[in-house]
């Protein structure tokens, strides 16, 4: 069965701290895609990254980095030197290749609060 688990419901950090958001997934498919989305207080989901199951290379984009490890079925997201504007709910999601259209299966989300 497909499932995404974000065990951290809420995280609170002080500005400039590094923070890692955990994501663990379950799938029987060998071809799948993993995503991270950000939902700021305004409510609109913003795409951050997509990674396919054949590409385990870690990715860095500015202060954001992602660590994909198939051996542990994890796709963790790290924010370096966090800022107040990073405060949002972050969702990890899975899309399986056998599903027509690639519907997203979301984790429950992690609410990140960055305090000045």
Partner 1 sequence: GAGVSQSPSNKVTEKGKDVELRCDPISGHTALYWYRQSLGQGLEFLIYFQGNSAPDKSGLPSDRFSAERTGGSVSTLTIQRTQQEDSAVYLCASSFPGRSGQSYNEQFFGPGTRLTVL
Residues lying near partner 1 in the complex (CB under 8 A) are found at 33, 35, 37, 42-47, 50, 52, 91, 95, 97, 99-109
CB of 81 to partner 1, least distance (A): 25
Nearer Cβ to partner 1, position 8 or 13? 8
Question: CA 14: distance to chain centroid?
Answer: 20
The sign one gets for the Cα dihedral 40, 25, 31, 106 is negative
CB of 116 to partner 1, least distance (A): 27
Nearer Cβ to partner 1, position 25 or 82? 25
The sign one gets for the Cα dihedral 84, 78, 7, 4 is positive
- Residue 28's Cβ-count burial label (10 Å; 0-12, 13-18, 19+) is exposed
Q: Say if CB 81 and CB 24 are below 8 A apart.
A: no
Nearer Cβ to partner 1, position 36 or 82? 36
Question: If you search the block for the tokens 């054949």, which residue do you land on?
Answer: 54
Nearer Cβ to partner 1, position 79 or 94? 94
CB of 49 to partner 1, least distance (A): 9
């Amino acid at each position: 069965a497909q499932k995404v688990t974000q065990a951290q419901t809420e995280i609170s950090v002080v500005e400039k701290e590094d923070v890692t958001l955990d994501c663990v997934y379950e799938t029987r498919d060998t071809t799948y895609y993993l995503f991270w989305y950000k939902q700021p207080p305004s409510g609109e989901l913003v795409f951050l990254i997509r990674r396919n199951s054949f590409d385990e290379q870690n990715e860095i984009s500015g202060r954001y980095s992602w660590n994909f490890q198939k051996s542990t079925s994890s796709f963790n997201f790290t924010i370096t030197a966090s800022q107040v504007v990073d405060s949002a709910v972050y969702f990890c999601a899975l899309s399986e290749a056998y599903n027509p259209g690639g519907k997203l299966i979301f984790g429950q989300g992690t609410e990140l609060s960055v305090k000045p």
